[in-house]
Structure 1
Amino acid sequence: MGKEKQYWLLKTEPGEWSWEDQAANEGITKWDGVKNKQAQKYLKSMSLDDLCFFYHSGAKARRIVGVVTVVREWYSEGEGGDGAVDVKAVGEMRRPVDLKEMKGEEGLKGFALFRQPRLSVVPVSEDVWLKVCDLGGGFEGDGVVVEDDESGDEGDDD
């Protein structure tokens, strides 16, 4: 019927645009400023409702911290071929997934993040998506009900 859902990873320096910035203002932002031609090609390939890992890069924190969805496909931003997609925050990872942890996982050996570490936009296969979500305990808004003892009546199982 429709196009199959695709998965992506979007990198950002937390000092320039953090998960907290993304989650503010109803969670919608224009993802622009991508100069690399391959990364632009990936942005142009995105479709409505595709899901993207929100990845903090930089020296201090290289990890997946949240998930966004594409709410507006590629559009041009004037001359020079620069463009953008609009993304909306879906939810924060229940536990951030660190780059070092991902590199140690057997099931993630072919992840494009490892093969093309300098690209700010990379595709994510469905099996890698599911594995990373599993490592992070999923993300808020994924439809998974997490048993959480908020009442404080029961003892910890940890």
Structure 2
Amino acid sequence: MTRSTQHWLMKSEPDAFSIDDLKRKGQEAWDGVRNYQARNFMRDGMRVGDKIFFYHSNCEQPGIVGIAEVATDAYPDPSQFDPKSKYFDAASSRDNPRWMLVEVKFIKKLKRTISLRELQGDPALVEMPLVRKGNRLSVMPVASNEWRHILTLE
């Protein structure tokens, strides 16, 4: 039985890594995730070919700015082993890595930012984790019906 494509939303601060950075690089490791639930989504849920909304957070106008695709299965985030990295984790070992990443591939930049405010005000998206109060995850699933609806907003 073939698994259907899943949909995701991944947040990045544009000052750290933007949709334009991904466009320029083509493909990039999504490193530095240090939340267990977000890690589990990457490790246990994401598969090559899954589609991603690229979301700019912690900026003047947070919102969905582009589309990417999962390019690799999850593998250990090397930054957890580097004592010079801000993402170093002394409790993690190569035999039992704590943190994982996937690589993401640029698909397209949207014609406009679909703002968080617009998403929060859309009755079709009331169940979406992104618009719920208190949800600060950097990686989260997007239901297929939410994905299709958001694509119509561009």
For Structure 1 versus Structure 2, the TM-score category normalised by the shorter chain is 0.7 to 0.9
Within-5 A mapping of 1:49-128: 49-77=49-77, 79=93, 80-115=97-132, 117-128=135-146
SS across alignment from 2:48: coil
Distance apart, 1:63 and its partner CA: 0.8
Cα deviation digits, residues 102-126 of structure 1 (max 9, x gap):
1111100000112353100010000
Shift of 1:94: 2.6
Shift of 1:95: 2.4
Distance 1:67 1:87 in 2: 10
Shift of 1:88: 0.2
1:83: Cα distance to partner?
Answer: 1.7
- Mapped to 2, the partners of 1:69 and 1:59 lie a distance apart of 23
CA shift, 1:61, in A, is 2.1
In structure 2, distance between residues paired with 1:59 and 1:67: 18
4+ residue segments displaced more than 6 Å: none
Secondary structure of the residue aligned to 2:104 is strand
1:11 aligns with: 11
After TM superposition, the score normalised by the length of structure 1 is 0.81
Partners of 2:130 and 2:138 lie apart in 1 by: 9
Deviation at 1:96, TM superposition (A): 1.7
Deviations 1:18-38 (A, max 9, x none): 11111012x100011100000
1:130 corresponds to: 148
CA–CA distance in structure 1, aligned partners of residues 42 and 138 of structure 2: 10
TM-score, with length taken from structure 2: 0.83
- Tell me which amino acid in the other structure corresponds to 1:120: S
Matches within 5 A, 1:29-68: 29-44=28-43, 45-68=45-68
Instruction: Give the greater-gyration-radius structure (CA).
Output: 1
- Give the deviation of 1:4 after TM superposition: 1.0
- DSSP 3-state at the match of 2:102: strand
Give the whole-Å Cα distance in 1 for the aligned partners of 2:152 and 2:128. 15
Call closer, same or farther: CA 1:57–1:105 in 2, change over 3 Å: same
Higher relative contact order (CA 8 A, sep 6+): 2
